[in-house]
Amino acid sequence: MSSKSAGRKNTPNAAGETRKPTGRTRRKENQEFVADMKLRTLRPEELLHPAQLLARFTERATELISQLPQEARPTPATVNAALRQGVLEAFRTRDEHIARLVETDLLASMPEQGAKAIRRAVRASLVDMGVRVVEEADEQELFVVVEGEGEGFELVRPAYVDQATDKLLLAGQLRRIPVPRTTPEQDGTGAVGAQGVDAK
């Protein structure tokens, strides 16, 4: 969907009332979306093919190996086996990723599915693929504070971490908020202090 069509949704009229998209507007937006998807679709000759990819890698590897001293050159069989294994593993990973996206797209296209069900399906897919979703402010090194004032924190956006490499895929966002103070009757100690961090 183009940004132009997205900008027309629920626009206020002269009286300040929000106008909902009409049937004609929805049809036009759907047509624009379909046209955009056709432009994005790869042509058959552009699709990745394992055998063609392996042939290109082998050709390039042969050129590089020919520059090495004779005694340091690996055998052609060793090179071919290593390249073949690498290409097959890359395509296996790609297939798994595409399968997850297909499942999510099918779920999202079912009219009876609500936003919560789709959100849970996406989250489950991420976790299954080894992504840790952090929604607690305790690990503040994974977050950036975007706004607000106070000693407490409120979650704006979760952080995403690759569990295999511990690499931060996307930093989370926190908003500073005032922390309510407890009374002596509330904490039972007679002390007045700040409560814990709220990250929900």
pLDDT tens-digit profile, the chain (200 residues) = 444 444 444 555 555 555 666 778 888 888 888 887 777 666 655 566 777 777 778 888 888 888 888 888 888 888 888 888 888 888 888 888 888 888 888 887 887 777 888 888 888 888 888 899 999 888 889 999 988 888 888 899 999 999 989 999 999 999 999 987 766 555 554 443 433 444 33
How far apart are the C-alpha atoms of 176 and 179, rounded to whole Å?
9
pLDDT of residue 45: 58
pLDDT of residue 157: 92
How far apart are the C-alpha atoms of 182 and 195, rounded to whole Å?
7
SS3 call for 5: helix
CB-CB neighbours of 6 under 10 Å: 10
Q: Three-state secondary structure along 40-75?
A: HCCCHHHCCCHHHHHHHHHHHHHHHHCCCCHHHCCC
Residues 6+ apart with CB under 8 A from 94: 48
Structure tokens given for 65: 């190996």
pLDDT of residue 140: 86
Structure tokens given for 150: 């106070």
CB-CB neighbours of 46 under 10 Å: 7
Strand order in the sheet with 152-157: 143-148, 172-177, 152-157
pLDDT of residue 156: 92
**What is the C-alpha radius of gyration for the chain, rounded to an integer number of angstroms?**
27
Q: Three-state secondary structure along 119-183?
A: HHHHHHHHHHCCEEEECCCCCHHHEEEEEECCCEEEEEECEEEECCCCEEEECEEEEEECCCECC
In the DSSP assignment, the letter for residue 22 is P
